[in-house]
Chain A
Amino acid sequence: MTTIFNPSCECMDRSELRALQSKRLTNLVQRAYHNVPLYKERFDELGIKPEDITSIDDIAKLPFTTKIDFRNAYPFGLFAVPRSEVVRLHASSGTTGKPTVVGYTRNDIITWSESVARTLGCGGGTEHDVLQNAYGYGLFTGGLGLHYGCERLGATVIPMSGGNTKKQLMLMQDFGTTLISCTPSYALQLAEVAEEEGIDIKKLPIKAGFFGAEPWTEAMRQQIEAKLNLKAIDIYGMSELMGPGVSSECLVQNGLHMFEDHFYPEIINPDTGIPVDPGEEGELVVTCLTKECIPLLRYRTRDITHLIEEPCACGRTSRRMARISGRTDDMLIIRGVNVFPSQIESVLMQVEGIEPHYQIFVDRKGTLDQLEIKVEVSQEIFSDEIRKLEEMREKIMAEIRSTLGLGAKITLVEPKSIERSQGKAVRVFDLRKTDV
């Protein structure tokens, strides 16, 4: 039994959908060209005019947008509307010090809530459900994204935010939670703590969980479903595009339905920028057809996937994207937080006496990701007093925490103990088993 939140959009005839996408793209291009200097510049460089774009088939003529464009436009350079129309701001990690900033108009919030409501519907959610939302509330789009989507659906939302696991479990039992939303690794932690507390989490009436914000595997899904006795739904999004609600698995659990009337997907060869053949793997590029504050053209997500064109048994007509299989860049996702090695490097370089030799290790202990940074101790910073070395270690730890928003273990190592490489230094070691 499937519940489709918005059948007229989600089950739209494909040719009707294409007509709608064409209409929306034509309008989007006009708004982007006339209101965002970056796009005007790019169009002029390429010698294209907004009028040249008359259908969705013309999309490949348009320039790409990248995370670097967000950085260069910091904070509001990509906004196409007067500031008085912006009702909310969110931000995510940038590649260096400055975060990636996104803004929303009143209509953007409505679109966002709609697409997250569809996401919850994809997992069988209705107004009769109680969603415990354990995504972080704040600048991160996960918490508020799920929150508004849940209210739009008409279900009851418990705005728990992340952490505080024992209380999460208590409220789950007391409030009759039927849906949960959090990172997949936190779902496993909930199961672990429940076991420690002697709570049989399998017996709770939770039907489905909406898991995203970090990569996870089919094997991890099996584990979560076995331990929590629920349907584990893979959801996808990112703040540059909107937040959660770009695509979601349905109960068939075979690919994530793109909400194509708002988010138009393409798959390109990341090296050439040329669209690949249907069904081929490549980098996901998304155009936000309806966004007002930031009319985003062909955003390069750096996520690797492929599109599934065949109709789905659930009745939705939208194309599906396969589970993300990797990244084209070096971004790490640690406990749901986006981390770029370059951010860590810029912190270390500000600490006096630190050699530019470091290594980043990510591992998973139990259900939690651990970040360890090994830093070489140079002649300059070495002290015969343990206290001074410890102070330095703590200083690095505090700087990393304030930059990344997560704790890291800092290990001081002997100079030259980190292997010197001839070419590109291998600094990042992700030891998390991809098969777990």
Chain B
Amino acid sequence: MYVKQVSIFLENRSGRLAEVAHLLGDNGINIRALSLAETTNFGVLRLIVDQYSKAESILKAAGLTVKLTDVLVIEIPDQPGGLAVVLDTLESIDLNVEYMYAFVERKTNKAVAVFRFDNIDQAEHRLKETDLRIFTAKDVCGI
């Protein structure tokens, strides 16, 4: 059920993000979702792509620091308060969110959010007890 997220370390240097985008695009890799977290002097780019292994090896070959991280993609009811309901549920089962970002999944046209938990196995186990819908890599990446 896990989705592989590609995480990349980036210095705050102009043009660095564009270089990554070019590398992926030139190699036919499609970005499905993206989030960029930054501090004063570096950033971490987090991507959901359609071919994570290929993306990883291409980026590493280009000398970037890359890591694959397991994340869970959860459906968000597309209505006011939808996200709040999901977060309440997570709280009720005592799950702490490290970070999250949301996007609209193309095929189903549903709002989904990528969640990074400290302990993903435990998180998934507890989520199964709830009504929340977890998307698979196949759902998300259209593989």
Q: A residues bordering B, Cβ < 8 Å?
A: 377-379, 382-387, 389-390, 411-417
* CB-contact partner of B39 in A383, A384, A390, A416, under 8 A: A390
Inter-chain contact A414/B64, CB cutoff 8 Å: yes
The residue of chain B having its C-beta at the shortest distance from the C-beta of A417 within the complex is B11
- Interface residues in chain B, defined as those with a beta carbon under 8 Å from any beta carbon in chain A: 5, 7, 9-11, 37, 39, 41-42, 44, 46, 63-67, 69, 98-99, 116
State whether B5 touches A384 (Cβ < 8 A).
Answer: yes
Residues in A whose Cβ lies below 8 Å from that of B67:
379, 382-384
The residue of chain A having its C-beta at the shortest distance from the C-beta of B41 within the complex is A411
Taken together as a complex, chains A and B put the C-alpha atoms of A416 and B11 apart, in Å, by 12
- Contact call A414/B10, Cβ cutoff below 8 A: yes
B99 adjacent to A414 (CB under 8 Å): no
Minimum distance in angstroms from A93 CB to a CB of chain B: 27
Q: Are B37 and A386 in contact (CB under 8 A)?
A: yes
| Binding site secondary structure of chain B | strand
Selected contact of A414 from candidates B5, B65, B116, CB within 8 Å: B65
Output the nearest chain B residue to A378 by Cβ-Cβ distance.
Answer: B65
The distance in angstroms between the C-alpha atoms of A310 and B135, with both chains bound, is 88
Contacts of A412 in B (CB 8 A): 9, 11, 41-42
**When A and B form their complex, which 9 residue pairs have the shortest distance between CB atoms, in order from nearest?**
A384-B7, A384-B69, A382-B65, A416-B63, A411-B41, A412-B42, A386-B37, A414-B11, A382-B9
B39 close to A414 (CB less than 8 A): no
Q: Could you list 19 examples of A-B contacts with CB < 8 Å?
A: A379-B66, A382-B7, A382-B65, A383-B7, A384-B7, A384-B44, A384-B67, A385-B98, A385-B116, A386-B37, A386-B39, A389-B9, A412-B42, A413-B11, A413-B42, A414-B9, A414-B11, A414-B63, A414-B65
CB closest residue in chain B, given A414:
B11
Q: Do B99 and A379 have beta carbons less than 8 Å apart? A: no
A384 vs B9: C-alpha distance when bound (angstroms): 8
Report Cα–Cα, A377/B39, bound state, in Å. Answer: 15
How far apart are the CA atoms of A414 and B65 in the complex, in Å?
A: 7
Say whether A389 contacts B46, CB under 8 Å: no
From residue B71, how far is it (CB to closest CB) to chain A in Å? Answer: 9
A384 — nearest CB in chain B belongs to which residue?
Answer: B7
Which of A378, A413, A414, A415: most chain B CB closer than 10 A? A414
Min CB gap A217→B, angstroms: 31
B65 A389 Cβ-Cβ under 8 A:
no
**Considering the chains assembled together, what is the distance between the CA atoms of A244 and B46 in angstroms?**
56
Q: State in angstroms the CA–CA spacing of A414 and B15 once bound together.
A: 14
Distance in Å: Cβ of B117 to nearest Cβ of chain A: 11
Closest partner residue, chain A, to B65 (CB atom): A382
CB neighbours of A413 from chain B (8 A): 11, 42
Determine the distance from Cα of A385 to Cα of B98 in the docked complex, in whole angstroms: 8
A417 to B63, CA, bound (A): 9
CA of A387 to CA of B44 in the docked complex: distance in angstroms? 11
- Docked Cα-Cα span, A372 to B85, in Å, equals 46
